[in-house]
């Protein structure tokens, strides 16, 4: 499949998911919530003001942050318009939610102290573009905090596509490191945690 076909599948899948994402009965998407506390804990290790959430969905991660730090500024970006509509309806202060592509971020250079990405990276058909783009929009010293699936055993996800999902690939830990370093990042942490989770922290 082409990158555009993958992206169309993702938009189709998450247009439906937007209806249930915040319900507490979100099926396979419920497990995404397990990634929020580790990201929050990582973010809190250093001071921050402007945070970009790539693949923000309906904005649950930003909601958590906003509740704790309402004076900070948050931007949520997602490819699926319906996800963004649900997020915008939450009317969070100091927050904007935009439809956009995490592989080609529509922001100025040096715009954010931190970029977070929870569980959407395996939907990106051009993953190096994501790392390059996040490096560009981060301020010097800023951090990328990314959590996603990882595995040493399998990579491509053709079965998911048969079921109408826009999943592209699960990356090995070494691949995360290689892509981050190629973009210019210094990798601070790359851990394979329980539940096949990659926990990556990288600094510009």
Alpha helices in the chain (DSSP H): 3-17, 36-43, 60-68, 81-88, 127-137, 158-162, 173-183
Read off the tokens for 184.
Answer: 């210019």
Q: What pLDDT shows up at residue 129? A: 97
Q: What pLDDT shows up at residue 143? A: 98
In contact, 173 and 198? CB cutoff 8 Å: yes
Q: What pLDDT shows up at residue 71? A: 96
Q: What pLDDT shows up at residue 164? A: 41
Q: What pLDDT shows up at residue 155? A: 45
d(CA 133, CA 43): 20
Order of strands across the sheet that contains 95-99? 95-99, 73-78, 50-54, 112-118, 138-149, 197-203, 186-193
Q: What pLDDT shows up at residue 146? A: 97
Read off the tokens for 137.
Answer: 């929009």
d(CA 135, CA 109): 9
State if pTM tops 0.85. Answer: yes
In contact, 164 and 12? CB cutoff 8 Å: yes
Q: What pLDDT shows up at residue 20? A: 67
Q: Mean pLDDT in each 10-residue stretch from start to end of the chain (204 residues)? A: 85 77 56 81 96 95 95 97 94 97 97 95 93 98 94 49 54 93 98 87 98
According to DSSP, the residues that pair with 167 across neighbouring strands are none
Q: What is the maximum span of the chain, computed from C-alpha positions, in angstroms? A: 44
Q: What pLDDT shows up at residue 153? A: 54
Read off the tokens for 141.
Answer: 């010293």
d(CA 85, CA 204): 31
């Amino acid at each position: 499949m082409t990158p555009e076909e993958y992206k169309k599948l993702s938009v189709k899948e998450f247009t439906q998911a937007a209806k249930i994402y915040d319900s507490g009965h979100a099926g396979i998407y419920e497990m995404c919530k397990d990634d929020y506390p580790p990201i929050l804990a990582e973010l809190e290790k250093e001071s921050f003001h402007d945070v970009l959430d790539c693949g923000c969905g309906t904005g649950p991660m930003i909601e958590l942050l906003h509740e704790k730090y309402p004076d900070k500024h948050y931007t949520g970006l997602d490819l699926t318009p319906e996800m963004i509509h649900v997020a915008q309806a939450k009317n969070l202060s100091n927050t904007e939610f935009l439809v956009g592509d995490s592989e080609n971020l529509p922001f100025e250079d040096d715009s954010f102290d931190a970029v977070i990405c929870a569980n959407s990276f395996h939907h990106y058909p051009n993953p190096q573009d994501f790392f390059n783009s996040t490096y560009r929009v981060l301020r010097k010293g800023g951090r990328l905090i990314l959590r996603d699936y990882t595995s040493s055993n399998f990579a491509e996800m053709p079965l998911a596509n048969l079921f109408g999902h826009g999943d592209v690939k699960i990356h090995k830990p070494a691949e995360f490191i290689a892509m981050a370093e190629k973009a210019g990042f210094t990798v601070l942490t790359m851990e394979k945690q329980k539940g096949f989770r990659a926990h990556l922290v990288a600094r510009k």
